Structure 1
Amino acid sequence: MPKSFILLFLLTFGFSSCEKQKENPTYTIGFSQCIGSDLWRKTMLEEIKIELSLHPGAKLIYKEANGNSKLQVLQAQDMIRKGIDILIISPNEAQPLTPVVEQAYNKGIPVIIIDRKTASSAYTAYVGADNFQIGKMAGEYAGEVLKGKGNIVEVLGLPGSSPTIERQRGFIQGLKRYPDIKITNQVYGNWLGEDTKEQLNKIKNSLINIDAIFAHNDQMASASRKVINTLLDKKQIKVIGVDALPGQGGGLEMVSSGILTASVVYPTGGKEAISTAFKILNKESFSKENILQSLVIDSTNVELMKLQWNKFISQQKDIERQGSLLEEQKVLFKNQQIILNVTVIALVLSVVFGGLALYALLENRKINKNLETNNIEILNQRNQLIEMSSKAEAATEAKLNFFTNMSHEFRTPLTLILSPLEDLIQNEKIKAGAENNLNLIQKNVYRLLRLINQLIDYRKIEHDKMLLSVSQNNIVSFVTDILESFQHSAKKKNIEIRLLTDAQNIKVWLDVNMLDKVIFNLLSNALKFTPANGVIYVEITHTSTSVTLSIKDNGPGIPAEEIDHVFEHFYQAQTNTAKGSGLGLSLSKELMILHHGNINVESTKSQGTKFSIQLQLGEDHFTEQEKLRGKANKDLLYEDAKIYTTGLNDIPEYTNPDLLRTIKPQSILIIEDNADLLNYLGNKLEQDYEVFLANTGENGIASAYEQVPDLIISDLILPGLSGRSLTEKLKSDIRTSHIPIILLSAHGSLEQQINGMESMADAYIIKPFNYDYLVATVKSLLKNRYLLKSHYMSDISSSGKPPISKSLDKKFINDFSGIVEQNLSNENFSVDEISKEIGISRVQLYRKVKALLDCSVTDYIMSRRLKKAKYLLINERYSIAEITYMVGFSSPNYFSTVFKSKYGMRPSEFKKNNSQSKQS
């Protein structure tokens, strides 16, 4: 099939499918309510409508029966006939409504009963409050508010109704804790205020001694308060109601205005009913019995409840407004989409059909030629790949052999470096002036020596040239001697190394000059990753056939995704800040294989890592030749100890000088994860600059925001956040965008240098670098920054828009100068107002302005005021007193003094001289 025809098909199908937008499923919900005239029922209906607004496409059929059970039955049957998807019903009476509920339920229509239950369990779900619990809460509250003593009149609802019975039982239960509280009278208010007034007036003589009234709803409670006020004028009588409805005339308003002492929330359940309905319709899990929670509203929490309701109503109005806007946008989008579809399809058809015949002919010829060409190319490529693979394998082996031979050659010059170096370190005269540099050289020579030894050993193993020389040794004494070599390094970090063993004499056949490398490597790693004041456990256990040595630290641990790779050669974990060559653990595993043993690792993130090596007991697994060669070389053991422990004796971290020192005019932040290089640069540069140090990208960012240095030197490869990412973040932040950044990296390719500069770095220096070149680069960048400042300040009053090259710095200067201009007449205008307006701290504002404008904020404001005053004196006809206050000075005398110090004459003289020059 030709490509053009496929394109036509896809476009036509795509546009037509776009028109068929996925619509939400539509449902018809029937809601039958026994009565809708009272506030509680109105609130229930309002909640249902609000919740339905979140489900576009749902249709609501609403019927109310005005308290007539027969009418409610007929209305429910009519909705069933119309084919509703779900029925929500609030029964007027339980028994008369039971048959129609069962009818809907048996027809497969889900039924949710709300507020009152029917006489049958044939319904899908029930939503409503527990009237017994509401009555009990009212009783407990009355007992607390009356302090356990008093007389109460209870105004009940409709005789025989389930809410009345349950609330009365709950109220009596709640008062059981207060035996000194008596219910002196009970009257039926039939849920109505007028009936309540009539009943209370009949017992008005007995109301004299009451302390509280509990009414089964807020309407009766409000009527009770009116009767009390009319008959007794006794404001201190407590009146407790039920419902606590929001809105005008509701219980919340009554409690807030003091009509009611308190009201128990009787939730309508409208929201919950709709929520349950959509769970049922969408085949989601739901609860059959949904009992709504309640609480007592009084003066302590009524304002909060009113505030929450008002906020809810406001949000609902916003939702409705946004919904109408969304519908308008949908209509507009649909119309535009139709026009676009027709236009594109017509265009595609006109192009495709015009060239379809010619294209088909040419395409067939091309396909046949391409097939022949591809077959030939595939055969040639296969032969080339086979040849290249063999050449690459030979080249790789040659490179490794060359590198191994070179590694052998490195040992001689390293030895010649190390021996004279140790003589220099022991020479007290030379040591006094250059101890730190000599120690740094020694440490890195040993580091090179360790890497070369590991590489040579690894290549020997690859070519089966590393031969065992085993002898029988007490492994406990062997490990104890090795631990002694690490005690000095451990004490420096206050790390305790504990040796645990199940026996003091465990004889094991091993090659001491190979196994010590394994133990040295595991112990040096443990010390490297164990935090200060930590513990390292070295445990030796044995069975009848084997011995196990485990080394456990309490460091950061190894992530699960990396633990399977730790023994791979040249593998380096990405999450650890202290990276190595990736050879140590791989070599350790190979040495354990030579010993016919095992090495494994267990680790839990943030809890530590445990390495275990296992050796077989006895000598049968070794050859006679391996046993005959077995001799321990104590000199090699001592050399390995120095090689593996020297790297752990880090130079102490650089600390900033005393705060009472003379502050240097320029500051530099150095970000480098190598402690030696970090401290070396810090010690060298502190002679001329204020120096701040950081060893991770995150710490560097925080220090840059806090210190706002004049220049930043950062390594490209940092733990966590790379130098490139750090540069991009600092250069895109208004607080630090002006700071020059130098990136240091061992990546020397042109592509990598371009990549570094694209991150907006000001300079890119390749390691190893010349220190003098680095200092020259620092001075050059700082000098260029100084020249840029001078350019900014050449005419600070010109337009308020200095010619700044970087957009963020330009925006900062524009915003800063604009804020100052707007507030020149405000004599109380302060630096705090500027920093708040721009959104940076006071210290950062001072340093940013100093770095970009080479002046303080207050000097800039004063300069702007005097420039404005000078302009007004020349071009406007204001008096000097008026100009004084227009430019923010507190008095004419102070203004005159400052003006004279700046321009050499008083404002009056300046104005007079300029007037004369104009006239002339």
Structure 2
Amino acid sequence: MSTKILVIDDEADVESLLLQRFWLKIQEGTYQFQFAESGYEALSVIRAEPDFDVLLVDINMPDMDGLTLLGHLPDLLPNGRAVMVSAYDDMDNIRTAMNRGAFDFVCKPINFGDLELTIEKTAQHVRQLRESAKMKLIADLKTHFFDNITHEFRTPLTLILAPVERLLRQWNEYDVTYRDLLSIERNARHLLRLINQLLDLAKLEVGHLRVNLQPGNLNEFVGQLVQAFMPVAEQRELTLSYHSDVSGQWLFDAEKVGQIGYNLIANAIKFTAGPHPQKAGAVTVRLTSGPPVRLTVSDTGVGITAANLPHIFNRFYQVDSVVRPLQPGTGIGLSLVKELTELMGGTVSVESSPGTTTTPSGTTFAVDLPISPLSDDEPTANDSFPVQEWFPHPASELSTSLPPTTPAEDAALIVVVEDNDELRKFLAEELMQHYRVLTADAGEQGWALIQTELPDVVISDVMMPGMDGYALTHRIKTTPATDHIAVILLTAKATNDSRMTGLQQGADDYLTKPFLIEEMTLRLRNLLARQQRLRMLYQQQLARPELPQPMETVQDGWLRTLYSVLDAHLDDSSFSVEQLAQYMALSSKTLLRKIQALTQLSTNDLIRRYRLRKAVDLLRAGHGVSETAYMVGFDTPSYFGQCFKEVYHVTPREFAVSEKT
């Protein structure tokens, strides 16, 4: 990296001396020198090229001395630095220059080794200054961007929420439309809260977030916060309790304390399971008078391992858990807790244990805040804080059902695997108008359901605790009993990498959230139509003698294996469904459902039709009817003839004659 140096000195030989001493660095491009013989000339040069790193300034010059020039530099060259040059007997001026902002000094006669070290040190400092200025500019631009984008988000969200609130007042709470409006309001507010959290993180990063202390009733405020979580706790079948010995008015930042409390309580509920045979799920919130005031949130949840504990306050760090969260995490909640706490001069700590066979699991977060109580004679303010704006109607209040629909018994069976309760119910209700629908709220539960029911299509979210959508798809597509089932993945990840991952696991289609329900319905219809066309093809391969042998054209690997087993036992009239199931490593029931899904035939029908299709080729090859009957596993030629006519509408003899003519 080249260092640009401006030398300001009225002595004629300075230029030649410096060019001679540093010729190698100049030739290498390490140093770039320019020269000015007076302070006024230097100002003109700097105005024309305001990117000098180092100025070598002689203090004593006739028209404008170095000290005067030094006063112009903060405005003209904010990220450059001056090194003052003077004689040893001019230390008073040098001291004045240093006090006025000079970075360093060298004395005449110049020691060039010392000068080079001074230039390098000054240039390094200037590079650091410029890097800091660049980082500050980026941080300011980022904050400006977040301010703007947040405003752009808040405006449409406001235009969503305001009409929804008006419409909610017009509809009866038992009406289906009221349920849909509640869902819109709830998710719009959730989105608004996430946007506000991101903005706070951006402001914290660049030091633009300020503490805004206001008097208020701290106990009542935290109590409102806990009370607002009650419906959510009831939905999870948890016990949520609040205890406090704090009273009176306090001076605190309600919004930041609210953010801290919200994230800690939400996190505790998120990772605490419901009732257990030995232990009921519980979350306890305590507010203890100080100094400092302590807010503790304890839960009886799964706990945090020792390996994860040091990282939980890192931004975007998420702890894997077998407990299904109410909402998918973002990894910013606990980071925001820590940074807001420290912004207010407090501390946060955590104790946790995943538990053993003899010790219970659980986690306790403790936040100490140096906030002050107000005396009785100090004025109070309205301490109401819009806590309820963070807590729109919980999902448990969205239970109004759509009018029951009864799809046809032969309608396609769809399994929806989605850990978000609201989205899962919404998808199920939409699809029930045309299909039979089963639902699961986790990958493991979905996999068990898929193995039992063998649906036509699985619609699965990607991001789920435990077995995610990718792993579920892999299981479906690598298990012989289920590999024919179509899979549609739903995800908020819109990147090509995530789409490729899903497709590599065998997914048949991919929808990015948010998606139109009409688009999902069309994609589902297309998948089912494709499956139906394949079923008809596999049927026709067995029913139409003019088509090639099924083994030559069948696309499904599992059917090819099944046909190979039938070929190996073609002349065995005693070969049964149970034996075929053993060869295919499936139960007879699962084999039946798999064959029905692929061909719409029963297992017995498939075996019979495959034998008859093989008989067609034998008759064409000149074998007699009776011989052919025994070769394809029929006990009697008469029964063979009866079955052959049912499928091909001619007797075996008539077929053989027609093939010869």
Q: Could you say which TM-score interval applies, normalised by the shorter chain?
A: 0.5 to 0.7
Counterpart for residue 261 of structure 2: 519
> Is the CA contact (8 Å cut-off) linking 1:424 and 1:431 kept in structure 2?
no
Q: Compared with structure 1, are the counterparts of its residues 565 and 377 closer, same or farther at alpha carbon in structure 2 (3 Å cutoff)?
A: farther
Counterpart for residue 447 of structure 1: 190
Q: Distance in 2 between matches of 1:628 and 1:410?
A: 40
Q: Which amino acid is the alignment partner of residue 381 of structure 2?
A: K
Counterpart for residue 583 of structure 1: 332
Say if 2:146 is the partner of 1:403: yes
Q: Compared with structure 1, are the counterparts of its residues 632 and 713 closer, same or farther at alpha carbon in structure 2 (3 Å cutoff)?
A: same
> Is the CA contact (8 Å cut-off) linking 1:469 and 1:630 kept in structure 2?
no
Counterpart for residue 549 of structure 2: 799
Say if 2:421 is the partner of 1:675: yes
Whose relative contact order is higher, 1 or 2, with alpha carbons under 8 Å and at least 6 apart? 2
CA drift of 1:447 comes to 0.4
Q: Distance in 2 between matches of 1:395 and 1:705?
A: 53
Aligned pairs for 1:730-741 within 5 A? 730-741=476-487
> Is the CA contact (8 Å cut-off) linking 2:402 and 2:429 kept in structure 1?
no
Q: Distance in 2 between matches of 1:395 and 1:916?
A: 85
Identity over aligned residues, as a percent?
30
Counterpart for residue 444 of structure 2: 698
Aligned pairs for 1:372-387 within 5 A? none
Q: Compared with structure 1, are the counterparts of its residues 514 and 419 closer, same or farther at alpha carbon in structure 2 (3 Å cutoff)?
A: same
Aligned pairs for 1:174-189 within 5 A? none
Q: Distance in 2 between matches of 1:664 and 1:385?
A: 74
Say if 2:241 is the partner of 1:498: yes
Counterpart for residue 902 of structure 1: 647
CA drift of 1:442 comes to 0.9
Q: Which amino acid is the alignment partner of residue 310 of structure 2?
A: D
Q: Which amino acid is the alignment partner of residue 467 of structure 1?
A: V
Aligned pairs for 1:248-287 within 5 A? none
> Is the CA contact (8 Å cut-off) linking 1:520 and 1:641 kept in structure 2?
no
Measured against aligned partners, the alpha-carbon deviations of 1:166-211 in whole angstroms (never above 9, x if no partner) come to xxxxxxxxxxxxxxxxxxxxxxxxxxxxxxxxxxxxxxxxxxxxxx
Counterpart for residue 44 of structure 1: none
Aligned pairs for 1:276-355 within 5 A? none
Q: Compared with structure 1, are the counterparts of its residues 669 and 405 closer, same or farther at alpha carbon in structure 2 (3 Å cutoff)?
A: same
Q: Distance in 2 between matches of 1:917 and 1:748?
A: 58
Measured against aligned partners, the alpha-carbon deviations of 1:399-422 in whole angstroms (never above 9, x if no partner) come to 332112331343343233212202
CA drift of 1:494 comes to 2.7
Q: Compared with structure 1, are the counterparts of its residues 497 and 879 closer, same or farther at alpha carbon in structure 2 (3 Å cutoff)?
A: closer
Q: Which amino acid is the alignment partner of residue 838 of structure 1?
A: M
Structure 2 unaligned runs (5+)? Answer: 1-23, 33-122, 276-280, 356-360
Counterpart for residue 381 of structure 2: 631
Measured against aligned partners, the alpha-carbon deviations of 1:373-425 in whole angstroms (never above 9, x if no partner) come to xx979999x99997788646523431332112331343343233212202212
CA drift of 1:446 comes to 0.8
Counterpart for residue 426 of structure 1: 169
Q: Distance in 1 between matches of 2:259 and 2:398?
A: 24
- Choose which of 359, 366, 371 in structure 2 pairs with 1:612: 366
Measured against aligned partners, the alpha-carbon deviations of 1:557-599 in whole angstroms (never above 9, x if no partner) come to 2333332233334433344753333333333333333443322
Q: Compared with structure 1, are the counterparts of its residues 406 and 860 closer, same or farther at alpha carbon in structure 2 (3 Å cutoff)?
A: same
Counterpart for residue 595 of structure 2: 849
Counterpart for residue 207 of structure 2: 463
Q: Distance in 2 between matches of 1:553 and 1:566?
A: 16
Counterpart for residue 643 of structure 1: 390
CA drift of 1:495 comes to 1.9
Instruction: Name the SS for the 1:794 alignment partner.
Output: helix
Cα RMSD between the aligned structures?
Answer: 4.2
> Is the CA contact (8 Å cut-off) linking 2:554 and 2:560 kept in structure 1?
no
CA drift of 1:816 comes to 0.8
Say if 2:351 is the partner of 1:592: no
CA drift of 1:708 comes to 2.4
> Is the CA contact (8 Å cut-off) linking 1:670 and 1:682 kept in structure 2?
yes
Q: Distance in 2 between matches of 1:378 and 1:856?
A: 84
CA drift of 1:837 comes to 0.7
Q: Compared with structure 1, are the counterparts of its residues 378 and 693 closer, same or farther at alpha carbon in structure 2 (3 Å cutoff)?
A: farther
Say if 2:352 is the partner of 1:603: yes
CA drift of 1:648 comes to 6.2
Q: Distance in 2 between matches of 1:713 and 1:379?
A: 65
Measured against aligned partners, the alpha-carbon deviations of 1:49-108 in whole angstroms (never above 9, x if no partner) come to xxxxxxxxxxxxxxxxxxxxxxxxxxxxxxxxxxxxxxxxxxxxxxxxxxxxxxxxxxxx
Q: Compared with structure 1, are the counterparts of its residues 826 and 765 closer, same or farther at alpha carbon in structure 2 (3 Å cutoff)?
A: same
CA drift of 1:719 comes to 2.7
Measured against aligned partners, the alpha-carbon deviations of 1:426-473 in whole angstroms (never above 9, x if no partner) come to 222697242332222111111022123333444555535523324374
TM-score under structure 1 length normalisation: 0.50
> Is the CA contact (8 Å cut-off) linking 1:424 and 1:430 kept in structure 2?
no
CA drift of 1:688 comes to 1.7
Q: Distance in 2 between matches of 1:695 and 1:676?
A: 11
Q: Distance in 2 between matches of 1:691 and 1:378?
A: 72
Measured against aligned partners, the alpha-carbon deviations of 1:223-265 in whole angstroms (never above 9, x if no partner) come to xxxxxxxxxxxxxxxxxxxxxxxxxxxxxxxxxxxxxxxxxxx
Aligned pairs for 1:134-153 within 5 A? none
Counterpart for residue 112 of structure 1: none
Q: Compared with structure 1, are the counterparts of its residues 390 and 464 closer, same or farther at alpha carbon in structure 2 (3 Å cutoff)?
A: closer
Q: Distance in 2 between matches of 1:379 and 1:754?
A: 50
Aligned pairs for 1:9-48 within 5 A? none
Counterpart for residue 834 of structure 1: 580
Q: Distance in 2 between matches of 1:581 and 1:879?
A: 72
- Choose which of 461, 475, 479 in structure 2 pairs with 1:715: 461
CA drift of 1:643 comes to 1.0
> Is the CA contact (8 Å cut-off) linking 2:176 and 2:400 kept in structure 1?
no
Q: Distance in 1 between matches of 2:354 and 2:657?
A: 81
Instruction: Name the SS for the 1:466 alignment partner.
Output: coil
> Is the CA contact (8 Å cut-off) linking 2:264 and 2:297 kept in structure 1?
yes
Q: Distance in 2 between matches of 1:799 and 1:378?
A: 79
TM-score under structure 2 length normalisation: 0.68
Instruction: Name the SS for the 2:213 alignment partner.
Output: coil
Q: Distance in 2 between matches of 1:847 and 1:903?
A: 26
Counterpart for residue 121 of structure 1: none
Instruction: Name the SS for the 2:521 alignment partner.
Output: helix
Q: Distance in 2 between matches of 1:379 and 1:764?
A: 57
Measured against aligned partners, the alpha-carbon deviations of 1:107-148 in whole angstroms (never above 9, x if no partner) come to xxxxxxxxxxxxxxxxxxxxxxxxxxxxxxxxxxxxxxxxxx
Instruction: Name the SS for the 1:829 alignment partner.
Output: coil
> Is the CA contact (8 Å cut-off) linking 2:297 and 2:365 kept in structure 1?
yes
Instruction: Name the SS for the 1:428 alignment partner.
Output: coil
> Is the CA contact (8 Å cut-off) linking 1:792 and 1:802 kept in structure 2?
no
Q: Which amino acid is the alignment partner of residue 503 of structure 2?
A: M
CA drift of 1:537 comes to 2.0
CA drift of 1:814 comes to 2.4
Q: Compared with structure 1, are the counterparts of its residues 824 and 492 closer, same or farther at alpha carbon in structure 2 (3 Å cutoff)?
A: same
The structure with the greater share of residues assigned to helix is 1
Instruction: Name the SS for the 1:581 alignment partner.
Output: coil
> Is the CA contact (8 Å cut-off) linking 2:297 and 2:364 kept in structure 1?
yes
Instruction: Name the SS for the 1:471 alignment partner.
Output: strand
Instruction: Name the SS for the 2:230 alignment partner.
Output: helix
Q: Compared with structure 1, are the counterparts of its residues 407 and 693 closer, same or farther at alpha carbon in structure 2 (3 Å cutoff)?
A: same
> Is the CA contact (8 Å cut-off) linking 1:650 and 1:676 kept in structure 2?
no
- Choose which of 422, 432, 442 in structure 2 pairs with 1:686: 432
Counterpart for residue 96 of structure 2: none
